[in-house]
């Protein structure tokens, strides 16, 4: 077991993405012809780790892959990006699989088969406690079991950032440790409903309600409209560059990884969110998830240049 340490530790999912492009999303019962069908690296945990690593972050991933042929494609970009995979176990299961359809307008649907990710429970996380306890920041999503999520929060000595996507039932007190909670508008409503609060209203209303239920800070991602930061100092809009979106798969994960990278580097939440919006805008201009993420050497789009 590795005793290496990283500034950021992601406890999360690793998937192989099977992507098909279609002219539009099919209606129920309808068959459409598509293109593609190749496997690429994905999984929300892996995507976010990759995004941060490509930007230069010191990052480790705690997770699991199967003993099947998909494990290689699922981890290839992580390895190339310098993510520490010494706490990723290969187990007797299938590697997590995401089946993604991307329409001509760039919008996507995703169906996830958890596979080995379902084994990242409390016992698994405890077995890999060293990097979690040593990290400056622990980043979590919703694609591992709830008790694994809660165990990672309990072990974390540093900052906890949560992107509860998909929105699954996790212990309330563990979830409220998120600082910030990172969510899109739809996820924000589902999280409020899970916590027994009103889940209707505009993004500003949802952000304020999330503060009211106990989150220290919140970042809502709003797609082409940018983002919204909320904390004890109020609510602030974060602009995003205007770009032509080709594929939105993994854009939210690019935002999350970039946000955490800049928080560890000492940025304020507003500064980190503004940088993350530029990284997300870069990513949507290219197909795929991890292959679309910028490196530290890439020039990011700016709001000023887009005007």
The tally of domains found in the chain comes to 1
Classify residue 266 by its DSSP letter: T
CB 159 within 8 A of CB 136: yes
Distance (Å, whole) CA 250 – CA 185: 16
The alpha carbon dihedral of 142, 178, 187, 246 has a sign of negative
The reply to whether 224 sits in an annotated binding site is: yes
Give the CATH number of the domain where residue 263 resides: 3.40.1190.20
The reply to whether 54 sits in an annotated binding site is: no
Give the 3-state DSSP-derived string for 153-170, with helices as H, strands as E and coil as C: HHHCCCEEEECCCCCCCC
Low-confidence residues in the chain, pLDDT < 70: 1-4, 304-307
Q: Give first-to-last CA distance, the chain, whole Å.
A: 51
Q: Would you say residue 31 lies in a domain?
A: no
**What pLDDT sits at residue 58?**
97
The reply to whether 292 sits in an annotated binding site is: yes
**What pLDDT sits at residue 4?**
55
Q: Would you say residue 294 lies in a domain?
A: no
Distance (Å, whole) CA 240 – CA 303: 6
CB 85 within 8 A of CB 102: no
Range of the domain at 169: 8-22+38-284
Q: Would you say residue 300 lies in a domain?
A: no
The reply to whether 16 sits in an annotated binding site is: yes
What are the strands of the beta sheet with 159-162, ordered from one edge? 84-91, 59-66, 8-11, 137-140, 159-162, 181-184, 218-221, 227-231, 234-238
Element holding 282 (H helix, E strand):
helix 269-283
The reply to whether 44 sits in an annotated binding site is: yes
- For 52, 255, 283, the CA distances from 45, given in Å and listed in that order, are 11, 13, 17
**What pLDDT sits at residue 3?**
46
Q: Would you say residue 292 lies in a domain?
A: no
The reply to whether 57 sits in an annotated binding site is: no
Q: What is the pLDDT of residues 254-286, one digit of tens each?
A: 999 999 999 999 999 999 999 999 999 999 888
What are the strands of the beta sheet with 108-113, ordered from one edge? 35-42, 15-21, 96-102, 108-113
Backbone φ and ψ of 130, nearest 5°: -55, -55
The reply to whether 249 sits in an annotated binding site is: yes
**What pLDDT sits at residue 189?**
97
**What pLDDT sits at residue 19?**
85
CB 159 within 8 A of CB 179: yes
The reply to whether 17 sits in an annotated binding site is: yes
Q: Would you say residue 302 lies in a domain?
A: no
pTM over 0.75: yes
Catalytic residue (choose from 105, 121, 253, 267): 253
Q: Would you say residue 200 lies in a domain?
A: yes
Q: Largest Cα–Cα distance in the chain?
A: 52
Q: Would you say residue 110 lies in a domain?
A: yes
Q: Would you say residue 116 lies in a domain?
A: yes
To the query of whether residue 253 is one of the catalytic residues in this protein, the response is yes
Tokens coding 88: 């990723």
The reply to whether 221 sits in an annotated binding site is: yes
The reply to whether 304 sits in an annotated binding site is: no
Distance (Å, whole) CA 276 – CA 262: 8
**What pLDDT sits at residue 168?**
95
């Amino acid at each position: 077991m590795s005793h290496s340490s990283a500034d950021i530790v992601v406890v999360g999912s690793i998937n192989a993405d099977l992507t098909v492009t279609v002219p539009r999303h099919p209606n129920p019962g309808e068959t459409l012809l598509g293109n593609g069908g190749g496997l690429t690296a994905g999984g929300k945990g892996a995507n976010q780790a990759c995004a941060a690593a490509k930007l230069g972050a010191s990052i480790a991933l705690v997770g699991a892959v199967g003993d099947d042929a998909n494990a290689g494609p699922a981890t290839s970009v992580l390895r190339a990006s310098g993510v520490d995979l010494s706490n990723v176990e290969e187990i007797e299961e299938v590697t997590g699989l995401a089946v993604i359809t991307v329409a001509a307008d760039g919008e996507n649907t995703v169906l996830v088969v958890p596979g080995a990710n379902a084994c990242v429970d409390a016992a698994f996380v405890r077995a890999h406690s060293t990097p979690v306890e040593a990290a400056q920041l622990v980043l979590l999503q919703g694609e591992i079991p709830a008790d694994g999520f809660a165990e990672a929060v309990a072990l974390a000595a540093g900052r906890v950032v949560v992107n509860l996507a998909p929105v699954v039932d996790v212990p309330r007190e563990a979830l409220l440790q998120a600082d910030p909670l990172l969510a899109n508008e739809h996820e924000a409503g589902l999280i409020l409903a899970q916590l027994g609060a009103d889940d209707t209203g505009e993004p500003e209303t949802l952000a304020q309600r999330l503060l009211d239920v106990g989150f220290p800070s919140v970042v809502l991602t709003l797609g082409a409209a940018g983002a919204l930061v909320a904390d004890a100092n109020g609510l602030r809009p974060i602009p995003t560059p205007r770009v032509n979106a080709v594929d939105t798969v993994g854009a939210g994960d690019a935002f999350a990884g970039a946000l955490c990278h800049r928080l560890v580097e000492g940025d304020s939440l507003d500064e980190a969110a503004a940088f993350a919006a530029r990284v997300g805008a870069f990513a949507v201009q290219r197909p795929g998830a991890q292959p679309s993420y910028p490196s530290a050497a890439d020039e990011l789009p700016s709001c000023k240049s887009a005007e």
